[in-house]
Amino acid sequence: MKKKSMLIAACAAVMFALGIAWGGRACQAAKPSALKVKDNKIVNASDKAVVLKGVSTHGIAWYPQYVNKQCFKSFKKMGANTIRLAFYSDDSAGYDKSLYIKVEEGVKAATDLGMYVIIDWHILSDGNPKKNQKKAKEFFTYFAKKYAGQTNVLYEICNEPNGDVTWGRDIKPYAEKMIKLIRKYDKNGIIIVGTPTWSQDVDLVAEDPIRNQNNIAYAFHFYAATHKDQLREKLKTANEKGLPVIVTEFSICDASGNGKIDKKEAKAWMKLLKKHKIGRVAWNISNKNETSALIQPSCKKTDKISKKNLSKSGKWIVGNW
Ligand code: IDC
């Protein structure tokens, strides 16, 4: 073969290979890297910090319509890499086993988009995780079996312990049981453990963390118009003491999920989270008439949501996270 035609053939081969690579990318979102916990951080296989940034559904019993791929994709375009699926655990708060299917749809949608997904057992009015422990066991057995080895899935085992609950007597023993149960199936998926006082007292947990288990992180929640310096101190203390923390829920209004927005405090929170490379998931994907809802009440879309459809808190959050 002449030199010139050899060159043309080589160029064609390279272009063909690039075409395959490009085509492959276009069809399927890149798989997010597998996660692990190292020291006080969530990292990838090369030990580089991975910051989970995302949005949480409202209770999927009330707002199931937002659990869909196009809706999640809208938030991905605005910078999210994570979806949290909030499954309320108490009968009085919308627990319904027939909603497992919604969790499955949500995991699939997030997975198809190359996003991380947190399966959240959303205890709230049932302040003590032991109250619905039997249902929690059934829930996590089902999902850990199903998603064993699926590296974009994380398990959050008790949203917000509150009321007459202590770390040592209630939450830690509950967590150890759930970890054992999940690890029967899923050996490495990150398990996020809720902390006392609506997932705020991470400083107490840092004194007595769960030992001899891998890939355990702890939940921390804040609402910027209620929680300020004092709570930031708790987070800083715990994280600097070595506790791996992830903010699986926050908003910039008050702790009721409603009321005024406090941008000054919100900025201080973002600064701290960015400095410590701590992940953050915003509450909530709905158009409910409450400040924390990320979508405007007048917007009825459940897919292809754009920045202009977002509420005031939604716009601020996607502009500053
Ligand atoms: C709120 C919702 C609200 C709902 C209420 C009770 O925003 O629409 O009526 O729950 O289910 C949390 C909880 C989260 C709360 C949120 C705001 O984890 O479930 O959602 N919040 O109050 N912790 C602190 C604040």
Q: Which residue out of 125, 249, 295 has the highest number of ligand 1 atoms within 8 Å of its CB and is therefore the one to mutate? A: 249
For 54, the token pair is 């995302």
DSSP structure class, residue 217 = E
C-alpha 274/C-alpha 222 separation (Å) is: 15
Distance from the alpha carbon of residue 73 to the mean position of ligand 1, in angstroms: 24
> What is the pLDDT at residue 8?
55
Q: Residue 24: is its pLDDT beyond 70?
A: no
Those residues with Cβ within 8 angstroms of residue 224's Cβ, 6 or more apart along the chain or in another chain: 250, 251, 252, 253, 261, 262, 265, 266, 269
Residue 12 pLDDT: 53
Cα(256) to centroid of ligand 1, in Å?
6
Token pair recorded at residue 97:
């086993």
- Please state, for a pLDDT cut of 90, what percent of the chain lies above it: 90
Mean pLDDT over 74-85 rounds to 98
Whether the predicted pLDDT of 73 surpasses 50: yes
Alpha-carbon distance 234 to 136, whole Å? 28
Size (the chain), residues: 321
Identify the active-site residue in 156, 249, 265, 290. Answer: 249
Please give the mean pLDDT across all residues of the chain: 93
Active site residue 240: no
> Which of 275, 209, 210, 269 minimizes the C-alpha distance to 51?
275
| 124 Cβ closer than 6 Å to some ligand 1 atom | yes
When pLDDT is cut at 50, 70 and 90, the band that residue 10 belongs to is: low
Ligand 1 centroid from CA 85, angstroms: 14
Any ligand 1 atom below 6 A from CB of 159: yes
Average pLDDT estimate for 144-155: 97
pLDDT at residue number 69: 98
Over residues 121-136, the mean pLDDT reads 98
Best mutation site among 55, 284, 287, 295 for ligand 1 pocket (most ligand atoms within 8 Å of CB): 284
CB atoms within 10 A of CB 28: 11
What is the rounded average pLDDT of the residues 129-145? 98
Using 50, 70 and 90 to split pLDDT, how confident is the model at 7?
low
156 lines ligand 1 (CB under 6 A): no
Residues 105, 138, 156, 160: which is the catalytic one?
160
pLDDT-derived band at 29 (thresholds 50, 70, 90) equals confident
Residue 192 has pLDDT above 60, yes or no: yes
Tell me the C-alpha distance between 195 and 161, whole Å.
6
Tell me how far CA of residue 296 lies from CA of 46, 145, 196, in angstroms.
Answer: 40, 37, 32
Q: What is the pLDDT of residue 20?
A: 45
249 is catalytic: yes
Q: Is the CB of 89 under 6 A from ligand 1?
A: no
Angle CA 56–105–88, to nearest 5: 45
**Residue 160 CB–ligand 1 contact under 6 Å:** yes
Q: How confident is the model at residue 54 (pLDDT cuts 50, 70, 90)?
A: very high
pLDDT value of residue 30: 84
Q: What is the DSSP string of 205-258?
A: HHHS---S-SSEEEEEEEETTT--HHHHHHHHHHHHTT--EEEEEEESS-TTS-
pLDDT in tens, 244-279: 999 999 999 999 999 999 999 999 999 999 999 999
* Whole-structure pTM value: 0.92
Is residue 22 over pLDDT 50? Answer: no
CA of 159, closest atom in ligand 1 = 18
Q: Is the pLDDT of residue 315 over 70?
A: yes
